[in-house]
Homo-oligomer: A and B are copies of this chain.
Amino acid sequence: MRIGELAERTGVSVRALRYYEEQRLLSSERSGSGQRRYAENAVGRVKLIQQLYAAGISSASILEMLPCVVTGVAAPEVLAKLRGHRSSVVKQIEELQETLLQLDTVIAGATKAYTTGVPCPPS
């Protein structure tokens, strides 16, 4: 498929896809005239990249770990980094869950205060 279709199917901009290629996170065949052609599995690849970005992992780290996602083999040092990222993700989840509790408290308190017209006691 061409870049526009891949963009549409992944919800990622054309610019971003070119950027991924620039960072060597995503590869493409080229047509005779130089246009990018992507295989079907590029969709999954792009979604994986987005997921890792969302976990706060940088291009460089993603570049490092992508080969082992594909091949399933990782050198010990890469494996160590993977574990490091894993624990970072765990920590992020924990922090977000704490934030969620905070938000819930605020929302609950604010809702109640608004409906009763009585402000909550200061914390």
Q: Which residues of A contact B (CB under 8 A)?
A: 48, 51-52, 54-55, 65, 68-76, 78-79, 82-83, 85-86, 89-90, 92-93, 95-100, 102-104, 106-107, 109-111, 113-114, 119-123
Contact = CB atoms under 8 A, between A and B. Distances in A.
- How many copies, total? 2
Which of A76, A103, A122, A123 has the most chain B CB within a 10 Å cutoff?
A103
A89 B76 CA distance: 34
A75 B103 CA distance: 15
B71 A120 contact: yes
Contact of A72 (B72, B86, B93, B119): B119
11 contacts: A51-B98, A69-B102, A70-B122, A72-B110, A73-B120, A82-B103, A82-B106, A89-B96, A89-B100, A93-B93, A93-B97
A113 to B, nearest CB: 4
Contacts of A76: 114
B103 A68 contact: no
Given A95-B54, A104-B86, A79 B119 contact: no
